[in-house]
Amino acid sequence: MAQIDWRIRRLGQGVFTVLAVLTLSFVMIRLMPGNPMGAMVENLRSQGINPVRARELVRIRMGTDPTKPLVPAYFEYMINFFQGELGYSTFYQMPVATKLAQVMPWTLFVLSWGVFISFFTGMAMGALMAYWEGGKLDVGFTTFAVLMGSIPFYVLAILLLVFTSYRWGWFPTGGKVRAGLEPGMNYAYISSMVRHATLPILSYLVASGIASLGMRGNSIRVLGEDYLRVARLRGLSDVTISTQYVARNAVLPLYTTLLISIGEMFGGSVVLEQVFQYRGLGFAFYQALNQRDYAMMMGGFALITIVTVVALLIADMTYGYIDPRARGGKDESY
Amino acid sequence: MSPTDESADEADATTDLKAAMTDGDTAMTDGGTDETMTDGGTVDSPFEVVSEYEETRMDRYSKYYDAYVRAPFAIIWRDWRARIGFSIVLFYLLMGTVGTSIVEPAGTLDGDSFIQPFNSQYTIQPWGIPEFSLGFWTYTGIWEFPLGTDRMGRDLFAQTVHATPSILKMITAGALFAVGTGTVIGAVAGYRGGWTDTVLSSITDVFINLPGFPLVMVLALLLDVQNPYLIGILLSVAAWGGVARAIRSQVLTLRQENFVESGRAMGIPRRRIVFKDIVPHLMPYVVINMTNTARRVIFEAAALYYLGVLPFRDLNWGVTLNLAQSGGAYYRPDALHWFLVPMFAIIGISIGLILLGQSLDRVFNPRVRARHEKTTVDEEADMGGDEPSTGDMITGK
């Protein structure tokens, strides 16, 4: 057991998680109280479609045959999934895979900027806070971070929307891009895209105040080290010390925290995109949920899971490059 | 090795031990002792030696009182964060228990639409106290709608108060479930190791990898739960994985400690070792995780109600947000308080929980504890120094 490279084991865990989620979604579709598939067949039959045709339609929509025995149906479902056949979305009137491919880039666009910016602001703030430990700035930032940790990101999003969009008119009140613009690499389109994405990004960003708290705790421990005293004696500037000496050591927990939080951000995008009417992955998932569009719902859920698993895998795999001490091949890497 | 060799070894070890015990010198701690104890030898055990000091029952009680009642409260009371956090949580508890019987439930058309908060035109005079004047100030009654009303004329203050019990139930159920499951699974996996660990850790990892919020949404839709306790458990169904992993990695270091090893040598049942010896050492993690999970449950519950995923009969903070949004609180300037009141309710309790969690961490910090158990007057030593807290290590998760 211990002989196997931990990377392979970790990869296996990721694959196992995805399989578990797919199994879960299959079980939900087939066995849940309310029997979504049975309800679907009944619904179609009541519309005057004959039972054989109704079952055929359901098979196309859900990617699995409601009359097949459980085990073959399960394997069929799994095989279909890995061939990219996620069923047919009744709400969007198109294959689930096509819809997901349409909305995914928008969500990734907002999320990646959110992660990117909050990583660097969190790092800089945390390093400064730790460096001026106990000073006014530190107390202020700590209070700020506690406050930001207690404000749910969607509450913040609603407030931002009420004030900056509806009251002051700085930003559009919803949507991904202004209607009627020609998509492409032209200035009008890109700038509209950025304007629409600003508030969602800001919501992710401010919500990461808690990350700088974690940073603070770690930096303080680093600050005790002798080499920092030497750096100070050498007359290096505060900025150099806090970025080159403190931040490099304190960035480690921040890095994993952030990659782990990508999964939670995807979850959060369901709420956030609803607030901003930003038609990305989360929005589509929520619509599917509301409309009882089971194929779309499970497809979206599976996609979110896969992205989360991949993010966590990257976090684990790359940690060794950031922290040379972790290259020993330990089982617990974070 | 033949059986005779083994018994010879045992005899050697026995004489070693006896010598050590009679000499009473430090040789007791060397390797010979361990071998004797684990192979089930029949020698006198040093663990059966009774303390020469006698402890009366009073002594023990006063020690317990000092350790579990006085010191924690002394520590909590010393820290401003703790005082504030404790008061806030207490306030919400009172609101959820006493408050609901004092404040009338909100009803439609109790007042006009969109009465602004703190509006002095609408007042009532409770308990029949008439108007009176103190010269500089005239009492005319208290606000009838302290936090204003919504579009249907329902009192927002009463809505907030009457939503508290169900939210508190969700928090309690969710936090207890997630932290309880996480602690048990993490501790067992870490202590037993081997196949148990492999299986339990794999399950834990799957749950950590799961995107919690979408999962909860799907489950909430399919299961159609109404009971607040069940909703709390549902919301934290994906939250225990993180707790289990943190606990497991702590147990992995603790299981090598001397006190655990001696417990094993004495043949104490595994369950007792895990839950009586190891888990108490992890209380800081457990408590901090509990407050974090509680916060998470509130956030997720409010979000689900706001999105309209969970079915509801009564108004609560999330439902109020939902109604405010569909009622046009975005663009109606006179309806802003409809958003703000539930928001402040959510933010208030989570500030309380964060502060309480951070300060409870200090209660379990052995260094801070020791200082308070010996003397309670050692004020200065604790003032500026910020002990490295366990909270910093596991922030946010």
Closest of B337, B381, B297, B313 to residue B118, by C-alpha:
B337
Instruction: Kindly tell me if the per-residue pLDDT of A77 is higher than 50.
Output: yes
C-beta atoms of B222 and A32 within 8 A = yes
A38 in contact with B, Cβ within 8 Å: no
**Percent with pLDDT over 70 in chain B:** 75
Using a CB-CB cut-off of 8 Å, the residues of chain A touching B302 are 152
Residues of A in Cβ contact (< 8 Å) with B355 = 146
Distance (Å) from the alpha carbon of A230 to chain B's nearest alpha carbon:
23
Beta strands in A65-114 (DSSP E): 88-89, 94-95
User: What span, in angstroms and rounded, lies between the C-alpha atoms of B378 and B74?
Assistant: 11
Residue A333: pLDDT band with limits 50, 70, 90 = very low
Chain B residue closest to A21 (CA)?
B210
Are A301 and B214 an interchain contact pair (Cβ–Cβ within 8 Å)?
yes
**Bridge partners (DSSP) listed for residue B132:** B139
Average pLDDT in the B49-75 region?
76
Cα separations (Å) of B296 from A123, A160, A193, B172, B243?
Answer: 24, 22, 32, 12, 13
**Interface probe, candidates B79, B81, B210, chain A, greatest A C-beta count within 10 A:** B210
pLDDT of A17 strictly over 90: no
Lowest mean pLDDT among A33-37, A84-88, B9-13, B118-122: B9-13
Report the percentage of chain B scoring pLDDT > 90: 4
Q: What are residue B123's DSSP bridge partners?
A: B143
Instruction: Point out the residue among B202, B333, B395 whose CB comes nearest to the CB of A16.
Output: B202
Residue among B195, B200, B213 with most chain A CBs within 10 A, to mutate = B213
pLDDT of residue B181: 92
Cβ <8 Å between A13 and B205: yes
| Residues of chain B contacting residue A34, judged by C-beta atoms under 8 Å apart | 222, 224
Judged by a CB distance cut-off of 8 A, whether residue A80 touches chain B is: no
A222 has pLDDT over 60: no
Question: What is the complex's ipTM, to 2 decimals?
Answer: 0.77
Residue B173 has pLDDT above 90, yes or no: yes
Residue B36 has pLDDT above 60, yes or no: no
Q: What is the pLDDT of residues B78-94, one digit of tens each?
A: 777 778 888 898 999 99
Among A15-29, A35-49, A177-191, B230-244, name the one with the lowest average pLDDT: A35-49
Rounded CA separation B209/B245 (Å): 12
Residue B31: predicted pLDDT = 43
pLDDT (tens digit, 9 = 90+) per residue, A295-327?
888 888 888 888 888 887 887 777 767 666 655
DSSP B319-336: HHHHHHHHTTTTT-GGGH
Residues contacting residue B159 through CB under 8 Å, at least 6 positions apart: B106, B150, B315, B320, B341
Identify the pLDDT of residue B176: 92
Determine the distance in angstroms separating the CA of A186 from the nearest CA of chain B, rounded to an integer: 32
Rounded to 10 degrees, the C-alpha dihedral B196/B198/B203/B206 comes to 170
Closest CB to A21 among B210, B221, B347: B210
- Smallest Cβ–Cβ distance between A267 and the set B211, B224, B252 belongs to B211
pLDDT (0 to 100) of residue B388: 41
pLDDT digit string (tens) for A194-219? 888 888 888 877 665 555 555 555 55
Lowest mean pLDDT among A163-167, A237-241, A244-248, A281-285: A244-248
Q: Report the distance separating Cα B300 and Cα A293, nearest Å.
A: 22
pLDDT tier at B385, thresholds 50, 70, 90? very low
Q: Is the pLDDT of residue A9 over 80?
A: no
Mark yes or no for CB contact A305/B211 under 8 Å: yes
Q: Which residues of A touch B213 (CB under 8 A)?
A: 264, 267-268, 270-271
Q: What is the DSSP string of A254-294?
A: HHHHHHHHHHHHHHHHHHHHHHTT--SHHHHHHHHHHTT-H
For chain B, what is the radius of gyration of the CA atoms? 29
pLDDT of B8 > 50? The answer is no
Least confident of A5-19, A185-199, B68-82, B260-274: B68-82
Among A17, A150, A155, beta carbon nearest to B354: A150
On chain B, the residues whose CB falls within 8 A of the CB of A253 are 393
Res B57: pLDDT: 79
**Of B198, B211, B347, which has the smallest distance from its Cβ to A263's Cβ?**
B211
pLDDT of residue B369: 64
Tokens of B284: 């800081």
Report the alpha-carbon distance of residue A267 to residue A286 in Å, rounded: 11
Contacting residues of A for B325, CB less than 8 Å apart: 158
Rounded mean pLDDT of B122-147? Answer: 72
Which domains occur in chain B, in start order? Answer: 57-383 (1.10.3720.10)
CB A138 within 8 A of CB A185: no
Give the whole-angstrom CA distance, residue B225 versus residue B133. 53
Q: How far is A5 from chain B (nearest CA, A)?
A: 15
Mean pLDDT of B335-362: 84
CA distances from A267 to A140, A261, B210, B213 (A): 30, 10, 10, 5
Which residues in chain A are closer than 8 Å to B211, comparing Cβ atoms? 263-264, 266-267, 301, 304-305, 308
Residue A165 DSSP class: I
Which of the four pLDDT bands, split at 50, 70 and 90, describes residue A99? confident
What is the per-residue pLDDT for B380? 39
Contacts of B223 in chain A (CB under 8 A): 32-33
Of B303, B330, B397, the CB nearest to A271: B303
Tokens of B53: 């000091």
Which residues of chain B does A167 touch, with a Cβ-Cβ cutoff of 8 Å? 333
Residues 6+ apart with CB under 8 A from B15: none
* Distance in Å from the first CA to the final CA of chain A: 20
Which chain A positions have a beta carbon within 8 Å of B210's beta carbon?
Answer: 17, 21, 305, 308
Give the closest of B206, B222, B347 to A150, CB-based. B347
Give the tens place of pLDDT for each residue, A33-66: 556 666 677 777 777 777 777 777 777 766 666 6
- Closest CA of chain B from A155, distance in Å: 7
Question: Does the pLDDT value for residue B28 go beyond 60?
Answer: no
pLDDT at B101 exceeding the cut of 90: no
Q: Does A304 touch chain B (CB under 8 A)?
A: yes
Q: Which residues between 199 and 228 in chain A have a beta carbon less than 8 angstroms from any beta carbon of chain B?
A: 210-211, 213-214, 216-218, 220-221
Token pair of B354 as six digits? 């964060």
pLDDT at A127: 66
Q: Do A150 and B295 touch (CB under 8 A)?
A: yes
Question: Which residues in chain A touch residue B80, judged by CB atoms under 8 angstroms apart?
Answer: none
Give the model's confidence band at A32: pLDDT under 50 very low, under 70 low, under 90 confident, else very high: low
Spatial separation of the C-alpha atoms in residues A263 and A269, rounded to whole Å? 10
State mean pLDDT over B98-126.
74
pTM for this predicted structure:
0.74
Q: Which residues of B touch A312 (CB under 8 A)?
A: 208-209
**Residue position matching structure tokens 């025995």:** A69
Provide mean pLDDT across the span A222-232. 73
Average pLDDT of chain A, as a whole number:
75
Q: Which among A152, A210, A301 is the nearest to B395, CB-wise?
A: A210
CA B341, chain centre distance (Å) = 26
With an 8 Å Cβ cutoff, are B206 and A13 in contact? yes
